[in-house]
Amino acid sequence: MDLNEIVEDVRAAMRSELGQGAVADYIPALARVPIERFGIAVTTVDGATYASGDAEEAFSIQSISKVFTLTLALNKIGDDLWKRVGKEPSGSAFNSIVQLENEAGIPRNPFINAGAIVVSDVLLDPMSGAQAIARIERFAGSLANSHAVGIDDEVARSEAETGFRNVSLANFMKGYGNIKNAVTDTLDVYFHQCAIAMSCRELARAGLFLASGGYDPVSGEPVVSAERARRINALMLSCGHYDASGDFGFRVGLPGKSGVGGGILAIAPGKASIAVWSPGLNSNGNSLVGSLALERFARATGWSIF
């Protein structure tokens, strides 16, 4: 099968799986997304895209945005970031605070909520919140090569209104001095980044630099150094799916980052960037059908990194 056939095969095979899991319901804008949606898009390092299903429909990428903000933060302050956030899987849920208390306010990795909040704090300083948010939005749009990429204000507002756990995490770290700006400002950035909306096509395009050594193979523009791109991929592999990261690596064999909106971005280094979307989540908060789709895709392509 060529890539086009594989993508269609995956879409066809997922049809009977749709409806499983549960759509995130903590905010209205996510809760009303139909659970039967499924999209997949693959962009190869030569710039070609293969897509199927609801691949043009924008969805809330949520925690997948942490990959892009991590990239920005590394470009901004380099390895100093690792003084404020770790590189290890947490062995806990995405929003756990236990680890923070045991480790003096240093989050385990930049992909759990606490770690991503620190990353937001890095991006904020010394910009204003509005500037930091605009910077993230522009970066995502530029990577996706699309003017349609933007922040869903309703989602951002809902996140802020219901995000007590994130407020708790941020204040906890502030108590340890690991948040430098006002907590409300830092969280404003964080809640907005989580509200970025993209389609699978845009998301696959946006992740392409991670599959091609850190530069955009279409434009030829550098995004991060090759070493940083590899390291971001390594973190996605070990920490990208919260306390189910090991299982994702085991079954799919590709670095990936999931979001509670049902999206997953996976990277096949040297080959392609893959985006899937299906809003039904498993008990770990990762897209149930999206994971199955990637497992089938990886088996068909033989692109497992292992």
- Binding to its own copies by CB under 8 A, coded x per residue (else -) over 100-119, reads xxx-----xx----------
Q: Which stretch binds its own copies (CB under 8 A): 5-13, 67-75, 215-223, 251-259?
A: 251-259
Supply the angle between the helices 183-194 and 65-77 in degrees, to the nearest 10. Answer: 130
Q: Is 260 a catalytic residue?
A: yes
The nearest distance, CB 88 to its own copies, in angstroms, is 4
Whether the CB-CB separation of 6 and 297 falls below 8 Å is answered with yes
Is 26 a known active-site residue? no
Report if residue 237 touches its own copies, rule: CB under 8 A.
Answer: yes
- The minimum distance between CB 44 and its own copies, in angstroms, equals 17
Smallest separation (angstroms) from its own copies to the CB of 97:
5
Range in contact with its own copies (rule: CB under 8 A) among 1-9, 118-126, 272-280, 298-306 = 298-306
- Asked whether position 169 contacts its own copies by CB under 8 A, the answer is yes
As measured in angstroms, the least distance from the Cβ of 90 to its own copies is: 5
Residue 167 engages its own copies in binding (rule: CB under 8 A) = yes
Q: Tell me whether residue 69 or residue 233 sits nearer to its own copies (CB atom).
A: 233
Each residue 73-92 as x (binds its own copies by CB under 8 A) or -, in order, gives -------------xxxxxxx
**Four-residue CA torsion sign, 87, 282, 204, 115:** negative
Name 280's bridge partners. Answer: 23
- 273 backbone dihedrals φ, ψ, rounded to 5°: -115, 135
Q: Is 158 a catalytic residue?
A: no
**Which residue in 7, 260, 276, 289 is the catalytic one?**
260
Tell me if 247 contacts its own copies by CB under 8 A: yes
Binding map of its own copies across residues 15-44, x = CB under 8 A, - = no contact: ------------------------------
Q: Binding of its own copies at residue 182 (CB under 8 A)?
A: no
> For this structure, is 66 an active site residue?
yes
**Minimum separation from the CB atom of position 274 to its own copies (A):** 15
Catalytic status, residue 252: no
Among candidate residues 7, 149, 174, 190, the one labeled active-site is: 190
Output the 3-class SS for the chain.
CCHHHHHHHHHHHHHHHCCCCEECCCCHHHHCCCCCCCEEEEEECCCCEEEEECCCCCEECHHHHHHHHHHHHHHHHHHHHHHCCCCCCCCCCCCCCHHHHHCCCCCCCCCCHHHHHHHHHHHHCCCCHHHHHHHHHHHHHHHHCCCCCEECHHHHHHHHHHCHHHHHHHHHHHHCCCCCCCHHHHHHHHHHHHCEEECHHHHHHHCHHHHCCCECCCCCCECCCHHHHHHHHHHHHHHCCHHHHHHHHHHCCCCEEECCCCEEEEEECCCEEEEEECCEECCCCCEHHHHHHHHHHHHHHCCCCC
What are the residue numbers of the active site? 63, 66, 190, 242, 260
Residues at the contact surface with its own copies, assessed by CB under 8 A: 86-92, 96-102, 108-109, 164-165, 167-172, 174-175, 183, 229-231, 233-235, 237-239, 243-247, 249-251, 253, 255, 269, 304-306
